[in-house]
Structure 1
Amino acid sequence: MAAPPERIRAAVVGTGAIVTGAHLPALAAHAADVELVAAVDIDPDRLDAFTAAAAADHPALGTPTGYTDLAAMLEQQRPGLVLLGTPPALHHRQARAALKAGAWVWCEKPLCLSLAEFDDITAAETEGGPYTAVVAQHRYGSGAVHARHLLHTGELGRPLLAHCQTTWHRDADYYAVDWRGRWNSEGGGPTMGHGIHQTDLLLHLLGDWTEIRAMAGRLVHHGIESEDVSTALVRFDSGALATVVNSVLSPDEVSRIRIDCTEATVELTHLYGHTNDDWTYTPRPGLDDPARLTRWRTPDGDTPSSHTAQLAGILTALRTGTRPPGSGHDARRTLEFNAALYKAAFTGAPVRAGDITPEDPYYHAMHGNHPDWAPGRAPEPKETTTP
């Protein structure tokens, strides 16, 4: 592949809250390496407001040209990197279009609505790029990097037990947005749209899972198609056991991961992002080694989890023609985990890694056409770009 230019040409698709609040600041932080050449949104007024604000607030990125049509933007601008911040139902088609145009893709979660869509996207990738990566910013804070190193080197001993918790609160107004809570436009409830960040981080820390048993319910938001709470019991390849809880019913909101190892407990408690201070290490009773405890509690650097931190790796991968972080096996493992959680919850049977093949209905939709959960006649997703 040809070497990227001195500054990578980037475009954003969707100009809603996640793009203005997270993608744009991330691009601005890397303005020496990337320029924002275009923005796409079907709402002309919102698009004009975004391009004007981007030029005024982040002049180092340049002035993006506004488009209301993705294909026209790809044809005229030929960006090297496309950032997708649109509703989930649009990700599959838009990622495929960007890859076909030769652009690398960095997409908000979930990357797509099914394993079938994921495999179709990756089939459009080519060796050396372009590749598609999903936003998984919680992996990239220095606290997470440090914890993963300690776990993978055995410094904390053997992982035994873990708890992964995303207990948030969303009211009826949240679900008044027509694409939320629907299988064919959001792909699921808090399992897919909220807890996926913590689940992804848990898998990043502990590695491959082997078996899931689960339950799900629609306890409060009865007007939606998907669940509003799910729970799972998980076995990992290492033998460790874990619980995973996803909720939008919880007045006391928290995101938490706790891993009990033979030498220590490591715990992360935060809400939407973490710093070093959000991680704690508790040694096993009787362990008295001040130097070791200091090493555990002192990460190299102090980088908060953020889109900015992950984008650094995306840009490096683009320049070197290597698979970027948050793509390939790791991204698919998280999506397969969610598909297996839904299948286990809806069927009442345990699901093992690799069970969901193209012949399985849960490969094609997270509801698996289960009679108690599949939509009878779900509306088509509207072509909108507000996340």
Structure 2
Amino acid sequence: MCVTSRRGSRDETVRVAVVGTGAIARGSHLPALAALAAEQPLRVVAAVDVDADAAAAFCADGAVPHPYTDLERMLDEQRPDLVTICTPPRFHRDQTVAALRAGAWVWCEKPPCPSLADFDAIEAAEAEGGPYASIVFQHRFGSGARHVRGLLAEQTLGRPLVAHCQTTWYRGTDYYSAPWRGRWHSEGGGPAMGHGIHQMDLLLDLLGPWSQISAMAGRLVHDIETEDVSTALIRFGSGALATVVNSVLSPDEVSRIRIDCERATVELTHLYGYRNADWHITPAPGVNAEEASRWRDFGADEPSSHLAQLRGLLADLRAGRRPRSSGADGRRSLELIAALYKSAFTGATVRAGEIAPGDPYYTALHGDAPGWAPESPEPREVVAG
């Protein structure tokens, strides 16, 4: 397949289309695009939704000229350079592949897609130099993560030894009253996939490749197909050991990462997004106070946000280079979650790279495991918006 990317040069206007016009598109994607349009040549030219009224309302509210209910028609008529996908996970594969084949780069909301097989199909539709498909993992892109990533990469804090990754949120029965929630086919997974993925992705971004995982999962409260809580033990390639907890059963909600290194402890505590003040570095006894003060200098405060990630993605698009959280870099968080489920449902330790074509967890995160797989086959849906 030959794909021709229509990336813009520094001075060319990047034409953007938004697919799915719900809360995440309105609350995060459109404001980020509007902010960047004030900085550089960029224009949102179209929005797509299966609900014609929703598409029209989104366009009216956001001054977007062209509403559509058909993705293929929009791609053919508007020929966008970038498509942002804000639909449920079950549609991400087909919509992303359609956009890539039309020559558009893609920025797709998490969870990226319901299986590694789907992700690999997306990557196969990319082309050298673009178009590429990047996943929304905005927690990587704040100034706090950038500063700590640099300290860890330079081994200024010593070797990472012990880590903890926590996404303990609360979702009541009203959350699961929506019929698509708590189901593998429509929500893509439980709190490991839909909630904890951001903190786990950030942990991987800070600590690097993982080597093995042992996990447990349970349905302790909600009558759903997926889990409502999971825990895991992870060994990293560096030798560091980590615990992970993902829950929707926790009234005192918090998102947290803690990394104990030889010379300092780094801790991030927030909920849905962080600023520099949410990061704390505690030096080990004997560390020079002046050096510790330098560690605590995070520089200008750039909160984790869609805006921060999208700014970098547009720079990559204009340069024709692969963006972060695409390809192998975007796949690794989904692979870790697939391995978490496989370990939890089989009781076995799972190693990185183990889940490949032919493994049931390659094509479905539930792996057809008894007691976890849906009782009826999951339909294959293809929708326009």
TM-score (structure 2 length as normaliser)? 0.95
Residue 258 of structure 1: aligned partner: 258
Q: Distance in 1 between matches of 2:141 and 2:230?
A: 26
How many angstroms apart in 1 are the aligned matches of 2:150 and 2:359?
Answer: 36
Please give the alpha-carbon distance, in whole angstroms, between the structure 2 residues aligned to 1:252 and 1:382. Answer: 37
- The corresponding residue for 1:331 is 330
Q: CA deviation at 1:371?
A: 1.0
Deviation at 1:286, TM superposition (A): 2.6
Cα distance, 1:87–1:385 mapped onto 2, change above 3 Å:
farther
Aligned to 1:18: 24
Q: Give aligned-pair identity as a percent.
A: 64
5 Å matches for 1:1-387? 4=8, 6-31=12-37, 32-55=40-63, 63-222=64-223, 224-287=224-287, 289-377=288-376, 380=379
Moved over 6 A (4+): 381-386
Return the alpha-carbon distance in structure 1 between the equivalents of residues 256 and 6 of structure 2: 43
Q: Secondary structure at the match of 1:154?
A: coil
Structure 1, residues 105-139: CA drift from partner, whole Å, max 9, x if none?
A: 00000111100000010000000000000000000
Amino acid at match of 1:139: R
C-alpha deviation, 1:173, in angstroms: 1.5
Q: Please, which runs of 5 or more residues in structure 2 have no aligned partner? A: none
Unaligned 5+ residue runs, structure 1? 56-62
Q: Deviations over 1:125-156 (max 9, x none)?
A: 00000000000000000000000000110011
Amino acid at match of 2:318: R
Aligned length: 377
- Quote the Cα distance in structure 1 between the aligned partners of 2:300 and 2:271: 21
Distance 1:160 1:278, change over 3 A: same
Cα distance 1:384–1:17, how it changes in 2: closer, same or farther (>3 A)? Answer: farther
* Secondary structure of residue in 2 paired with 1:150: helix
1:301-322 CA deviation, whole Å, 9 max, x = no partner? 2100000000011101111110
Question: Deviation per CA, 1:46-94, whole angstroms, max 9, x where unpaired?
Answer: 2221111102xxxxxxx33100111110010000000000000000000
With over 3 angstroms needed to count, the CA separation of the structure-2 counterparts of 1:384 and 1:255, relative to structure 1, is: farther
Contact 2:7 2:81 in 1 (8 A): no
Q: Aligned partners of 1:3, 1:27: CA distance in 2, in Å?
A: 16
Distance 1:20 1:231 in 2: 33
The answer to whether the Cα contact below 8 Å between 2:7 and 2:14 also exists between their aligned partners in 1 is no
* C-alpha distance in structure 1 between counterparts of 2:98 and 2:21, whole Å: 18
Pairwise CA distance, 1:182: 0.9
**CA–CA distance in 2 between the matches of 1:349 and 1:146?**
36
Contact 1:230–1:246 (Cα < 8 Å) also in 2: yes
Task: Give CA deviations for 1:268-317 in whole Å, capped at 9, x if unaligned.
Answer: 00000000000000011232x22211211111321000000000111011
Asked if structure 2 preserves the Cα contact closer than 8 Å seen for 1:179 and 1:381, the reply is: no
